[in-house]
Amino acid sequence: MPGLEGVDQYPGHLEAQIFLSLSLLDFFLWGYIKNIVHAEKIRNIQHPQDRITSAIETVTRDMIQKTWQETEFRLDVSRATNGTHIEMY
């Protein structure tokens, strides 16, 4: 993956953790917007553009903060377990 060259050289795989945190936020936003946009059949080219705009307007500061808190929690768990795989319920 671009930007992750030499990740094994760093203790705690810092670059991988940064990549993971950005990905979690990106996946949250993409999934949220996609669910709203595709909730109804697309009628014309302007329709999805309008739905994307309206969906983005519904994203609140609280939603972003909660997503970031979850990301920080996952990073803390990763650091505490030295990156080993664990099941989270």
Q: Measuring CA to CA, which residue among 77, 84, 71, 86 is closest to residue 19?
A: 71
- Residue 7, sorted as left (phi over 0), alpha (psi -120 to 50) or beta, turns out to be alpha
In the predicted structure, residue 47 carries a pLDDT above the cut 80: yes
Instruction: Indicate the helix (H) or strand (E) that contains 25.
Output: helix 14-37
Domain regions of the chain by residue span:
14-80
The overall average pLDDT reported for the chain is 77
- Compute the distance between CA of residue 40 and CA of residue 33 in angstroms, rounded to an integer: 13
* pTM of the predicted structure, to 2 decimals: 0.56
pLDDT tens digits, 4-30: 444 444 455 555 555 555 666 777 888
Residue with the two structure tokens 């094994």 = 8
- Compute the distance between CA of residue 58 and CA of residue 47 in angstroms, rounded to an integer: 17
